[in-house]
Amino acid sequence: MAKKLYVGSLSYDTTDQSLKDAFSKAGAVETATVIIDRMSGRSKGFGFVEMATDEEAKAAIEMWNGKELDGRKVVVNEAKPMEPRAPRREGGFGGGDRGRRSW
């Protein structure tokens, strides 16, 4: 079973491929994804790597946690499941007419 790892403090220069190449030194990488901000198109500074086995995931954590990758010391640990979020309110920007004058 594959083990998903969280990789934080990534350089903005790190790509999916460079992340995969780095973690391949610890074992078989199934996926490597740098999370990109939709608005700016830039990296959000973190990503996820899925290793083929638990043993390879442990090796990757030991190899990379606190080590430098693309000029930044990265944080690597086991990814936690995403917690459910409350639904967003509709309308955005507060809605309504607050602060506006009616002529």
DSSP 8-state code for residue 92? S
Specify the 3-state DSSP secondary structure of 98. coil
pLDDT of res. 7:
98
Q: What is the CATH number of the domain that holds 20?
A: 3.30.70.330
* Domain assignment of residue 53, given as a range: 3-78
Residue 64 inside a domain? The answer is yes
Total domains in the chain come to 1
85 within domain boundaries: no
Q: What is the pTM of this model?
A: 0.81
Q: What is the pLDDT of residue 36?
A: 97
Task: Say if 94 falls within a structural domain.
Answer: no
**Integer Cα distance of 82 and 69 in angstroms:** 25
In a domain, 41, yes or no: yes
pLDDT tens across 62-97, in order?
999 999 999 999 999 999 988 888 887 765 555 555
Q: Indicate whether 84 belongs to any domain.
A: no
Query: Encoding tokens for residue 37?
Result: 């901000």
Strand locations in 14-96 (E): 29-36, 43-51, 68-69, 72-73, 75-78
